């Protein structure tokens, strides 16, 4: 039996399929609450510490909204880098101190492994809200949940991941989740920003069907789901290279309509041009629903690790 009570959520790699499904089913139940159709107080009396060592307004607000929509409370540290919590103290000591206040910790840190270091020091659950080039498990879970929710299934889908697949921890964490399913992955990126061999080797080992290409338009024709990410200029040594790709990987309404008008379009946001504004009008434009699903998934995780249920 899957039991999240008291557990940390640090990585998607370590999640079993039954754990993943447990999160999906639980999140489904929280959707009416994330959608503001119902209210609940199942986490009344519980306190979440929101520790963001690097800025991430979006994820921070999502976690804090989820906790509060469950009737819980939040203590939050802003600009933690310049505060006494950070100065000279070990992460382990910080975690032990925060444990004296809070029932659960959500932590974002630039250093991979930092959430695990904190988790190892305390008995309360620690949720990894992104650790540098490491993982971002709650984002990957909400991405998976969105695919399930938009398409009604995951098995059998062709999912195109587009953009910066090298540095994007979100697509790495998502790939590990998708490896539990029978999907066809198409990885679209410039050669410089290909999915790391470490990840593709793992995918191959698990028998995942995937292909790598630079051809965006051709890939789109097969897409049930197109997951866009931002390509950052600073990743390229040669600006001319950047200019070549930023023009190619822009999803327009026309491109969707001439490829597969029914495709589901996702993006972790913020977008800065990779998806044209008129794509918003398409029924498959799921990126804002994806944000809302984030609240449901984080509600699910918070309630599971704190042992509360609807």
Which residue do the tokens 């695919």 mark?
A: 147
For residue 292, state whether it binds a second copy (rule: CB under 8 A): yes
Stretch that binds a second copy, among 62-70, 192-200, 219-227, 241-249 (CB under 8 A): 62-70
**Which of 8, 103, 135, 143 is in the footprint of a second copy by CB under 8 A?**
103
Q: Indicate the residue among 108 and 151 with the shorter CB distance to a second copy.
A: 108
**Which of 16, 18, 101, 261 is in the footprint of a second copy by CB under 8 A?**
101
Residue 306 tokens, joined: 């704190």
Residue spans of beta strands (DSSP E) within 53-171:
73-77, 104-109, 126-131, 158-162
Say how far apart CA 124 and CA 302 lie, in whole Å. 12
Determine the 3-state secondary structure of 221 from DSSP: coil
Neighbours of 181 (CB within 10 A): 18
DSSP secondary-structure letter at 44?
Answer: T
What is the chain's Cα-based Rg?
19
Q: Indicate the residue among 78 and 209 with the shorter CB distance to a second copy.
A: 78
**Which of 82, 197, 240, 281 is in the footprint of a second copy by CB under 8 A?**
82
Q: Indicate the residue among 39 and 110 with the shorter CB distance to a second copy.
A: 39
Q: Indicate the residue among 203 and 301 with the shorter CB distance to a second copy.
A: 301
Peptide bond between residue 270 and the one before it cis (omega within 30 degrees of 0):
yes
**C-beta separation of 119 from 258 below 8 A:** no
Say how far apart CA 101 and CA 117 lie, in whole Å. 18
Determine the 3-state secondary structure of 268 from DSSP: coil
**Which of 174, 195, 266, 295 is in the footprint of a second copy by CB under 8 A?**
295
**C-beta separation of 196 from 166 below 8 A:** yes
Site track 26-55 with a second copy (rule: CB under 8 A), x = hit: --------x-x--x----xx-x-x-----x
**Which of 3, 196, 288, 310 is in the footprint of a second copy by CB under 8 A?**
288
Q: Indicate the residue among 124 and 199 with the shorter CB distance to a second copy.
A: 124
Q: Indicate the residue among 73 and 194 with the shorter CB distance to a second copy.
A: 73
Determine the 3-state secondary structure of 220 from DSSP: helix
Q: Which residues form the interface with a second copy (CB under 8 A)? A: 34, 36, 39, 44-45, 47, 49, 55-58, 61-62, 64-65, 68-69, 73, 75, 77-80, 82-85, 87-89, 93-94, 96-103, 269-272, 288-289, 291-292, 294-295
């Amino acid at each position: 039996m899957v039991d999240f009570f008291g557990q940390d959520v640090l990585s998607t790699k370590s999640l079993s399929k039954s754990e993943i499904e447990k999160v999906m089913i639980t999140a489904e139940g929280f959707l009416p609450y994330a959608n503001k159709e119902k209210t609940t107080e199942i986490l009344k009396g519980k306190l979440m510490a929101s520790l963001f060592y690097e800025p991430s307004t979006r994820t921070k607000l999502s976690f804090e909204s989820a906790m509060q929509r469950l009737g819980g409370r939040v203590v939050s540290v802003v600009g933690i880098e310049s505060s006494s919590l950070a100065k000279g103290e070990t992460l382990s000591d910080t975690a032990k101190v925060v444990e004296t206040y809070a029932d659960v910790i959500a932590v974002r840190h630039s250093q991979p492994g930092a959430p695990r270091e904190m988790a190892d020091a305390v008995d309360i659950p620690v949720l990894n809200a992104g650790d540098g080039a490491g993982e971002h498990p709650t984002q990957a879970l909400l991405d998976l949940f969105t695919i399930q929710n938009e398409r009604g299934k995951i098995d059998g889908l062709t999912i195109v991941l587009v953009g910066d697949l090298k540095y994007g921890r979100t697509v790495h964490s998502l790939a590990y989740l998708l490896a539990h399913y029978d999907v066809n992955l198409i990885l679209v990126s410039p050669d410089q920003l290909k999915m790391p061999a470490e990840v593709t080797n793992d995918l191959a080992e698990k028998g995942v069907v995937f292909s790598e290409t630079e051809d965006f338009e051709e890939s789109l024709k097969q897409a049930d789901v197109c997951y866009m990410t931002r390509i950052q200029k600073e990743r390229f040594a040669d600006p001319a290279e950047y200019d070549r790709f930023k023009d190619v990987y822009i999803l327009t309404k026309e491109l969707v309509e001439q490829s597969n008008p029914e495709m589901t379009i996702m993006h972790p946001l913020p977008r800065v041009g990779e998806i044209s504004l008129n794509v918003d009008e398409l029924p498959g434009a799921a990126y804002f629903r994806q944000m809302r699903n984030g609240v449901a998934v984080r509600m699910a995780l918070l309630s599971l690790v704190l042992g509360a249920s609807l």
